[in-house]
Amino acid sequence: MREKQWCTAELPAAIAQFTVARGPERNLEIIDGFAGEAAAQGARLLALPEGLIARDGDDDAFAATHAQPIDGPFVSELKAISAKRNITLMGTVHIAPAEDSADARVSNVFLAIRDGEIMAAYRKLHLYDAFSAKESAVVKPGEALPPIIDIDGWKIGVMTCYDVRFPETARSLAVRGADVIVVSAAWVRGSLKEYHWKLMTAARAVENTCYVLACSEVSSRNIGCSRIISPLGEVLAEAGSSAAELITVNLDRNALDAARRALPVLRNRRFADPQLR
C-alpha cells in the first residue's frame, strides 16, 4: 500500500495542441505563449506534442535530421520557459547521438522540465514501424520503462505516441502508482487512425483508472484531437482536428479515488508481471 503523503485535492492541467514549425525558434515562441496562457489559468502541468524542435509534414525524417544535444539551445530555452512561467513542461524532443556513438540514430526523448531543470527523461520504447512508416530507420528505441514524476503530490506517468498501442506500458505506470498518464504524440492521419487514437487513449484510462492527458500535434499530416480523459473514460476536454488550441481541466483527487473504489481493477489483478514493476 502506498504511504499517505501530501497531495493537492485538484491539479490544474493543460494541453497545448499546435503545428510544430520547421524552425526551432518559432516553436519556442509558440510553447512560451501557450505556457504563459496555461500558467495564467493556474495550470501546474502543460503537455506538449511529440518532436518539438522541428517538423515538416512532407518529410518524415525532418525531425530526426534537426536533432540537437540535450544540452543544446532548444532544451536550454525550454528550461528557461519552465522557470519563467512556473509550470512543468512535458513533451518530446529528438536528441542527437554522442559524437563517439557507434549508432548514428537519434533518440526521441520525453522530457519533464520544471523550475529550469530536467526532472525526468525517457526514450520512446516502441518505434512507429507500422502503416508503411519506419521510425526505427532514424530513431533508436529506449530500453527502460517510463518514469513517474511528482507534481504537487500527484504521480504523473508518461508515454510517447506509438507506446499507447502497448497496454503493458500504461499498466506498468499504474502499478507503480501513477494517477495520471501524459501522452505526447504526432498521431498520423489515415483510415481509422482518429478512431484508434480516441479508442486507445480512453482504454488506457479505464483499464488503469488513471486520468489520461493525450496531446497530438495538429497539421496536414497529424490528427490533433488532443484530449483529457477521466479514470472512468469520460472525455473531459477535447481539441479539434484542424487548429492550434489550449485545453485545460482541474484533475480531481476525489473523483480519482471514487473511480478506484467503484472499479478496483488494480487491486483485483490476479497475475502480476514483475517486469512491469
pLDDT at 270: 87
Most confident segment among 56-60, 140-144, 267-271: 140-144
> Residue 145 domain-assigned?
yes
pLDDT at 142: 96
> Residue 88 domain-assigned?
yes
Residues forming beta bridges with residue 181, ordered by sequence position: 157, 212
> Residue 4 domain-assigned?
no
Asked if pLDDT for residue 193 goes beyond 60, the answer is yes
Task: Read off the C-alpha cell for 171.
Answer: 499498466
Per-residue pLDDT of 102-124, as tens digits, reads: 899 999 999 999 999 999 999 99
Task: Read off the C-alpha cell for 133.
Answer: 512508416
Domain range enclosing 18: 10-265
Asked if pLDDT for residue 242 goes beyond 50, the answer is yes
* b (16+ CB within 10 A) / e for 34-71: bbebbbeeebbbbbbbbbbbbbbbeebebbbebbbebe
**Average pLDDT in the chain:** 95
What is the mean pLDDT of the segment spanning 89-96?
Answer: 98
155 catalytic? Reply is no
Q: Which of 79, 155, 161, 225 is catalytic?
A: 161
pLDDT at 99: 85
> Residue 273 domain-assigned?
no
pLDDT at 97: 94
> Residue 151 domain-assigned?
yes
Q: With beta carbons less than 8 A apart as the criterion, state whether 32 and 85 touch.
A: yes
CATH code for position 133: 3.60.110.10
> Residue 199 domain-assigned?
yes
> Residue 198 domain-assigned?
yes
Per-residue pLDDT of 245-273, as tens digits, reads: 999 999 999 999 999 999 999 999 988 77
50 catalytic? Reply is yes
pLDDT at 3: 45
Asked if pLDDT for residue 4 goes beyond 70, the answer is no
pLDDT at 271: 82
Q: Which of 79, 124, 140, 155 is catalytic?
A: 124
161 catalytic? Reply is yes
Asked if pLDDT for residue 183 goes beyond 60, the answer is yes
pLDDT at 76: 98
> Residue 77 domain-assigned?
yes
Q: How confident is the model at residue 7 (pLDDT cuts 50, 70, 90)?
A: confident
Distances (CA, A) of 186 to 10, 193, 203, 224, 257: 28, 12, 19, 8, 31
Task: Give the number of domains in the chain.
Answer: 1
- Number of Cβ within 10 Å of residue 177's Cβ equals 12
